[in-house]
Amino acid sequence: MAKSKVLVVGGTGYIGKRIVKASLAQGHETYVLQRPEIGLDIDKLQMLLSFKKQGARLIEGSFSDHRSLVDAVKKVDVVICTMSGVHFRSHNILLQLKLVEAIKEAGNIKRFLPSEFGMDPARMDHALEPGKVTFDEKMTVRKAIEDAKIPFTYVSANCFAGYFVGNLSQLGSLTPPMEKVNLYGDGNVKVVFMDEDDIATYTIKTIDDPQTLNKTVYIRPSENILTQRQIVEMWEKLIGKKLEKLSISEEDFLASMEGMDYASQVGVGHFYHIFYEGCLTNFEVGEEAEEASKLYPDVQYVRMDEYLKQYL
């Protein structure tokens, strides 16, 4: 079967650049949307040019120009959107509604993967404010996709290792502490941690797979289902010493939101659901969904003890 042609929207972003690389590596003709809105952002332009060197094709299109989006979509079989949905970077989830309109008009797309890649928003209707907005907006996009009868795959990739493992899941930093570490409660709630390149690899594998059509795919391989305490212990083993552990109660953690800026409040809410409620692992992957590592056992995913070694 011929491999699908892929358009990546948001290709210069954190996950987007990895999706472009994985698409090329798996032999797909890969297009990246080049938006005039990048203006004088030389880093983004140079990244786009580097994609071109690797074999990707750049295609101009703007969210403020519907016709340009339709024309871009018509060149491919699959559209993957990776626009940011985190408030401390840029939050553009609802811009995808314009992309949905373009896909609907083009009428040729075999699969659309909207910007998800975190917790499954369908399971987060009870989420705390103000962080609930992320899930509500993703569900708005899902409704538009399904109302337009566009074939889809939703990817729930859980916790990005760059933001949750390197820092031992500490808020406000990206590198591991060497003396003291905050534990959420007893630190024993099960979480799923994933290397971002592996997320991209699994994502690209779904696009031509009939088993993932109109389904949610959870990326949660068994060896990466770990507690925060286990991540801390892996780091302690690597550095050869014990860290002082400070347990934060659920009440104190939620109380810490008071007086924080909006983006920080969103982050604290999401951390609460992950590390206190266990929202990533407190359900079974049912028949209406798929688990990526079972579908694609050939993927040699990075284990988190290996991941942590780069911080030594």
Q: Do the Cβ atoms of 170 and 228 come closer than 8 Å?
A: no
Which pLDDT score is estimated for 88? 55
Task: Report residue 84's pLDDT band, with 50, 70 and 90 as the boundaries.
Answer: confident
The HSE-up count of residue 211 (CA atoms within 13 Å, CB side) is: 12
pLDDT at 24: 98
**Amino acid identity at 232:** V
pLDDT tops 70 at residue 85: no
Cβ(130)–Cβ(266) below 8 Å: yes
pLDDT score of 297 more than 70: yes
Catalytic amino acids?
138
- Tens of pLDDT, residue by residue over 208-249, are 999 999 999 999 999 999 999 999 999 999 999 999 999 999
- Whether the pLDDT of residue 282 is over 70: the answer is yes
Report cis status (omega within 30 of 0) of the bond before 176. Answer: no
Distance from the Cα of residue 118 to its chain's centroid:
5
Cα–Cα distance measured from residue 27 to residue 22, given in angstroms and rounded to the nearest whole number: 9
| Element (DSSP H or E) covering residue 231 | helix 228-239
Please give the Cα distance from 254 to 263 (Å, whole number).
15
- What pLDDT score does 203 carry? 98
Average of per-residue pLDDT values in the chain? 96
- Report if pTM > 0.75: yes
Model pLDDT for residues 52-72, shown as the tens digit of each residue: 999 999 999 999 999 999 999
Give SS3 for 95. Answer: helix
Q: Is the pLDDT of residue 89 over 90?
A: no
Residue-wise pLDDT tens digits, 238-275? 999 999 999 999 999 999 999 999 999 999 999 999 99
- 128 pLDDT higher than 80: yes
DSSP annotation of 70: H
**Cα–Cα distance list, 108 to 67, 68, 186 (Å):** 15, 15, 51
Alpha carbons within 13 angstroms on the beta-carbon side of residue 13 total 23
Mean pLDDT to the nearest integer, 153-160: 98
